Chain A
Amino acid sequence: MVGRGVLKGMWLVLREFLSTYPLGRMVLRVTGQPAGNRLVTVQYPDEKQQHAERFRYFPFLVYDQTPDNLRCVACKICEQECPPQCIHIVGPAKDEQGRPLKVHGRTYPVEFDIDTSICMSCRICVDVCPFDAIEMDNQYEMSSTERFGEMAFNKEKLLKSNEYFQQIKPTEASVVDQRLEAKKPKPAPTQPPTPPSAA
């Protein structure tokens, strides 16, 4: 029969049309057609999509307990590896003689900036970090009216606690925590080697 495909196509489209209305679904159900609500639109500002745990957006810096106890030692591997080069690190912090300053036994960056208008959310910085100091955040509502100042995140803006990380990504955080636990120096040498005192 000529035109059967045409009519069949039109019927399929009509079925999609009807299946988006409650009344239409009723009609479809009476006629024995599959009638599920197939509307896929999420009306964003009113309703929000439930994201998967591994959903990621921009990176943040992890700290343990207190914000000065950040895991980053300013080794600059992420800065080197970042494909769009959105990370800018000044450090590690040094005193006047050029010796590295340490907090909680670690060096730390003086400045750590990520330009989120450049970041492409590739997660390479997280992969290359030997200290698990940088992780991916899932916050995506960060529009701003200013292009240069507010989109470049500085260290204060990037620092977030390990608890926050455990909260947004429990699976990934537990893996990281286990790894860090394994890396931790055994408590056997009771006296850690004292740093050479500045004579």
Chain B
Amino acid sequence: MSFLDLFRNLDQLFVNVSGWLLGLLPDWLQPWASIAMRIGVIAAIAPAIMMYLTWIERKAIARMQNRYGPTRVGIYGLAQPLADGLKMLNKEDIVPRGADRLVHLIAPVLAVAPAILLFAVMPFGRNLIAADLNVGLLYVFAISSISSYAIFMGGWASRSKFSVLGAMRGVAQIVSYEVPSVLSAVAVIMVTGSLSLGTIVESQAGYWFVFTPWGFVACLIFFLSGVAEVNRTPFDMPEAESELVGGFHTEYSGMKFALWYMAEFLESFAVCAFTVALFLGGWHGPAIPFWVLALALAILIGTARLLPLPVRGVGALVMVGAGVFWAAQPIPSWIWFLSKTYFLFFVLVWFRGTFPRLRADQLMGLAWKFFLPLALVNILVAGVWLMPQTPVRWAPCLLILWGAVSLLVAVNKPSITDRRTYVLAD
């Protein structure tokens, strides 16, 4: 295979390039080189992704608040993350007196390491997964829960009341939200019969799980629990800058502080990526037949009143052409995966732009009194969905879910106590 052939098939571009590179090496070296290459690529792209996630977040949140965001360093502020990184590296690293120096140092490292480890099982595209473990999903939950240790270590080692408060809140929150998060993924495991992320994505070729009743509910629970687990607004109780200064990272500065942020952004990315892999079809494009897409787009363009008639005619023809082209699957799988993931990250920023922080009791209430029962009911619904005897499986599924949601909403309504009368006061 010549070098140029690698670019013929964009879908398998990275797979072919890595295969070609490994082919240059002697046989005995290949397995080791393969491992080293995977590790190297992940270790290189994870910080790069994190840097530009900060840029995306700052730009998007600024636009939501009618500002520009970073504009001065490079065009559109694109060099801003580099400048920030340089600034962080140059800053003084302050450790408070009385802090546990060793744990203070280990904590941010322990926060970043699992976040990068999560990239190992991320299905970026068709055949593009660093390690398709057959217990991939279990690995995800096991690794991602390490971050609660890191947060508590960081808070405790800082010897600061704000840090300890933030860390305690953080641990309580992460432990609580792990439960509905895992239970919502159980439905996926039931339907696909596999814990391997590659298999889970492949089984969504016909339809994305989010377009089934159980999948929709599980997707919401999984994504929102994930948001809570990575301490993003509106669930950013552990940081809570208006209450706790900076929460568990109050006493961190310089590169250690940057590592906390890196962990947070990488985990946010991982949450988005795994939501995409489990529910939003992973690296599959939307399973729309090409003639349906062509017809719908042609009708849309052809009937748009704002456009002049010739434009409408040409547009309709172009759309039919685009629809036929769609049959050839022109968009590589890894672009589908990344664009869906970045869209979900935009949703995270959107949440941050919209919602105020939840109160501690509201936060716990949402996890234990709404998500947990709903996730349990959802497992039942997934079971109903799988029963071969139900020809119209939509109806019972929707009925059970609707009943469960309305019951939970009714039960969770905040009670307003009667006005107390004090007999002895008068």
Contact = CB atoms under 8 A, between A and B. Distances in A.
Asked if A and B bind, the verdict is yes
Interface stretch (B3-11, B64-72, B263-271, B273-281): B64-72
B409 interface: yes
A13 B350 contact: yes
Contacts, number: 39
A103 interface: no
A38 B66 CA distance: 6
A39 B68 contact: yes
A115 interface: no
A141 B196 CA distance: 63
A40 to B, nearest CB: 5
Given A9-B354, A41-B68, A43-B71, A21 B409 contact: no
Contacts of A20: 63, 66
B66 A16 contact: yes
A40 B71 contact: no
B422 interface: no
B356 to A, nearest CB: 10
B213 to A, nearest CB: 17
B416 interface: no
B64 A39 contact: no
B interface SS class:
helix
A52 to B, nearest CB: 22
Contacts of B28: none
B380 to A, nearest CB: 21
A59 B309 CA distance: 65
A12 B355 CA distance: 11
Interface string A13-45: 110110111000000001000000011110100
Instruction: Bin the interface of chain B by size.
Output: 10 to 19
A2 B404 CA distance: 13
B350 A40 contact: no
B67 A40 contact: yes
Nearest to B67: A41
A21 B63 contact: yes
A9 B352 CA distance: 12
B60 interface: yes
A13 B353 contact: yes
A141 B71 CA distance: 22
A161 B121 CA distance: 74
A13 B64 contact: yes
A10 interface: yes
A20 B61 CA distance: 12
Contacts of B68: 39, 41, 43
Nearest to B356: A9
Contact of A17 (B63, B306, B351, B405): B63
Nearest to A9: B354
Nearest to B66: A38
Nearest to B304: A30
B67 A13 contact: no
A4 to B, nearest CB: 12
Contacts of B66: 16, 19-20, 38-41
B106 to A, nearest CB: 39
Contacts of A12: 354
Contacts of A10: 350-351, 354
A161 B263 CA distance: 61
A19 to B, nearest CB: 8
Interface in B334-357: 350-351, 353-355
B67 A16 contact: no
B398 to A, nearest CB: 16
A63 B187 CA distance: 84
A17 B64 contact: yes
B348 to A, nearest CB: 12
Contacts of A40: 66-67
Interface string B383-413: 0000000000000000000000100010000
Contacts of A30: 306
Contacts of B351: 10
Interface string B339-381: 0000000000011011100000000000000000000000000
Given A17-B60, A39-B67, 14 more contacts: A2-B409, A6-B355, A9-B355, A10-B350, A13-B354, A20-B63, A20-B66, A21-B63, A39-B66, A40-B66, A40-B67, A41-B66, A43-B68, A43-B71
Interface of A: 2, 6, 9-10, 12-14, 16-17, 19-21, 30, 38-41, 43
21 contacts: A2-B405, A2-B409, A9-B355, A10-B351, A10-B354, A13-B353, A16-B63, A16-B65, A17-B60, A17-B63, A17-B64, A19-B66, A20-B63, A20-B66, A21-B63, A38-B66, A39-B67, A40-B67, A41-B67, A43-B68, A43-B71
